[in-house]
Amino acid sequence: MLVTEINPNDELWLSDVESPQIITDPNLFNWDDEADLVVAGLGGAGIAAANEALDQNLTVIGIDKANGGGATAKSGGIYYAGGGTPIQLAAGVKDSPENMFNYLIQETGDVIKESTLKKFCETSAENTQWLMDNGVEFDPSYYKIKTSYPGAGYYLYHSDNSMVPSYMEKAEPAPRGHRGFEEGPFRPIGVGGTIYYPLKKSALKKGLKVFSQTEARSLVITSEGKVVGIKILMLPSGKLAQKHKQLTSRGEMLQMLLPPSYPGSNLLQWIGGFFIKRAQKIERSFREVKYIKAKMGVCLSTGGFIFNRSMVKEYAPKYYDGMPLGTPNDQGSGIRLGQSVGGKTDHMDRVTAWRFLNPPLAFAQGIVVNKNGQRFCNEMVYGATLGDAMCENNEGKAYLVLDAALFEEAKKQSREALPFQRDMARMLMYFNARKKASIDELAKVYDLPAEKLAEEIKKYNQAANANLHCEFGKAPSDVKELNGPFYIMDISINSKLAPLTTLTLGGLMVNEETGEVLNQYDEEIKGLYAAGRTAVGICSNIYVSGLSIADCIFSGRRIGQHLSSMGE
């Protein structure tokens, strides 16, 4: 009997995933196809697992609800790596696995074992070379200034908190954000394709068999609980499949033109939804049920569940008002597939929320206060660190306070930023900011306690005048005296003009040496693996740029390597 946390009959299942199909003898079942490894979800983790398994001379079938890529291909294309990668060495940067570990342990905490983090750091340079061997291009052009994303023409940068003084006490800062290289005009969204598409091309060349526009609906298991295959719903190739692809792409493009909270977004959401519903009608009418045998294992790598708004409301309500980041297929289906056969989950309440202030740097040189008018974080930290402090400890409420001098400096700096950074900064300054002559008037804008706000500004100004670190460790060079008139901007999670992007980090628990999914008794479920955001991994405590893609590569390769060792 399966022991589960939750099952498809539960009213809080909130998924189309079905109960597993139990068979007595896999050799007597009528399968439609078979492979050593079946990968459900061909994003960054899935394509890494496929490539590694193919490298080990195993056969692989990959299925994907869309056409592959997932959140990795949609991302800004940052891969977190260190310990002396070929790109770091070419840039003249010194780093070591030990130094990388000393930094990352401050971010990961105890969400994974120290031995797993050490292996992640020790294999980071090797994994980077593996990506390059599979066609991924990086570049050593080094952006040395702390920023949320490197300037045009730069590909190596500090994508974390390593330059923040409190983190520097335990580790030497080193640039570990490796942005995928591409020729031509700079595009911040979709740069992840520079990492994903070479890997897909490489896997196809090695023999990967892909079923796109195909949904994993349930697992097939033996009476002993071993996973031996998967039930899928496949849209046959041809004109209908092409029409489905066009309708889905058009609908998703329209829905992603504006953040959901922006004025005018509701109309785009409705029009986009119209096309998506037409695509779904094709699915309901023409998809066929198929069964694929997994001779050695099934890899669940369908991403997280941030676009399953009902699941977010159930597991991570603090982040429900945030803007989903990823793809509409991040519905938690892989997590539910694992749970359907007894898989154990953890950290389902963990969500990364990105409140980036820099650039413009002047924003981060001001102060951020909560609804009580009090500062709660070093404004120079990485955006996810600030967002986490906002949502976990301050009810998602935060307000950015600048004076006129910093406000004017922010305008100048935003003109030099990348277009997506410039536009977000201008949205805040021109449509969100409120200007007031005094602190008392400033506090009234959002009903903040004036005395507390005045006290925070006073302490901050004292640190600035004394050229000292502020109480939250901000470097003296970034602590600027604030004098009226003042500006205040609402950067809370529910601010309509300052969308807070969010991404789920929890998922299935796995054996950290093999990638096998664990059951309720912390035992391995034979034949079932999970990787990327479907599983608990390196970034499941808190996020820094590139760490999710890096974990996808690390956890995906781990599965292929384990399967190879089973055959020895």
Q: What is the pTM of this model?
A: 0.96
- Both tokens assigned to 254: 């329209």
Please provide residue 326's backbone torsions phi and psi, each rounded to the nearest 5 degrees: 140, -135
Tell me the domain boundaries of the chain: 21-70+211-235+288-352+504-566, 78-179, 236-286, 356-490
Q: Is 539 in contact with 111 (CB distance < 8 Å)?
A: no
Query: What are phi and psi for residue 31, nearest 5 degrees?
Result: -80, 150
Q: How far is CA 448 from CA 128, 396, 435, 439, in A?
A: 48, 15, 15, 10
**What is the Cα–Cα distance from 353 to 493, expressed in whole angstroms?**
9
DSSP annotation of 180 reads P
pLDDT in tens, the chain (568 residues): 789 999 999 999 999 999 999 999 999 999 999 999 999 999 999 999 999 999 999 999 999 999 999 999 999 999 999 999 999 999 999 999 999 999 999 999 999 999 999 999 999 999 999 999 999 999 999 999 989 999 888 999 999 999 999 999 999 999 999 999 987 655 566 789 999 999 999 999 999 999 999 999 999 999 999 999 999 999 999 999 999 999 999 999 999 888 888 888 999 999 999 999 999 999 999 999 999 999 999 999 999 999 999 999 999 999 999 999 999 999 999 999 999 999 999 999 999 999 999 999 999 999 999 999 999 999 999 999 999 999 999 999 999 999 999 999 999 999 988 888 899 999 999 999 999 999 999 999 999 999 999 999 999 999 999 999 999 999 999 999 999 999 999 999 999 999 999 999 999 999 999 999 999 999 999 999 999 999 999 999 999 999 999 999 999 999 999 999 986 5
Task: List the structure tokens of 455.
Answer: 């006290």
Q: Report d(CA 469, CA 527) in Å as an integer.
A: 53
d(CA 408, CA 422) in angstroms, rounded, equals 14
Contact 429, 437 (CB under 8 A): no
What is the C-alpha to C-alpha distance for residues 236 and 283, in angstroms, rounded to an integer? 10
CATH number listed for the domain at residues 21-70+211-235+288-352+504-566 = 3.50.50.60
* Side-chain-side CA neighbours of residue 512 (13 Å): 15
Three-state secondary structure string covering 111-149: CCCHHHHHHHHHCHHHHHHHHHHCCCCCCCCEECCCCCC
Residue 469 CA: distances (Å) to CA of 107, 459, 462, 475: 22, 11, 10, 5
Give CATH for domain 356-490. Answer: 3.90.700.10
> Strand, helix or coil at 199?
helix
For residue 332, which of 559, 535, 558 has the smallest C-alpha distance? Answer: 535
Phi-psi label, residue 218: left if phi above 0, alpha if psi -120 to 50, beta otherwise: beta
